[in-house]
Amino acid sequence: KAGVTQTPRYLIKTRGQQVTLSCSPISGHRSVSWYQQTPGQGLQFLFEYFSETQRNKGNFPGRFSGRQFSNSRSEMNVSTLELGDSALYLCASSLEGSEAFFGQGTRLTVV
């Protein structure tokens, strides 16, 4: 059974640009959640999607957005990148109410 796949693994962007990250969940998992990990703030919840609907949202500015497609694949977008957006972005998928399976993450560097 394939795990959670995140692409790309590494990304370098310039301030002001936008970026789109992709997450393919485990087959059959309809919940996809996104997290940001930085050395200063640790792991923080960004948002969760379930059946193409955003179900929960963390305390991040509107520059951070996401969506989920009918096949449960999810994308997150960050517009007008800032240096502070440099982080490891992790997604996780799960069956309703069960344990989360995490991807390897996308390491974003903003220069």
Partner 1 sequence: KNEVEQSPQNLTAQEGEFITINCSYSVGISALHWLQQHPGGGIVSLFMLSSGKKKHGRLIATINIQEKHSSLHITASHPRDSAVYICAVSIIQGAQKLVFGQGTRLTINP
- The binding site for partner 1 (CB under 8 A) comprises 31, 33, 35, 37, 42-45, 48, 50, 55-56, 58, 88, 90, 92, 94, 96-105, 107
DSSP for 20-38 reads EEEEEPPTT--EEEEEEEE
CA distance 31 to 26: 10
Going from the C-alpha of 63 to that of each of 14, 16, 80, 86, 96, the distances in angstroms are 15, 11, 7, 14, 28
| Residue number, 19 or 106, with CB nearest to partner 1 | 106
| Residue number, 74 or 81, with CB nearest to partner 1 | 74
Q: In the bound complex, what is the minimum distance in angstroms from residue 16's beta carbon to partner 1?
A: 26
77 forms bridges with which residues in the sheet?
A: 20, 65
| Residue number, 81 or 106, with CB nearest to partner 1 | 106
| Residue number, 80 or 109, with CB nearest to partner 1 | 109
Chain center to CA of 53: 15
Q: In the bound complex, what is the minimum distance in angstroms from residue 110's beta carbon to partner 1?
A: 17
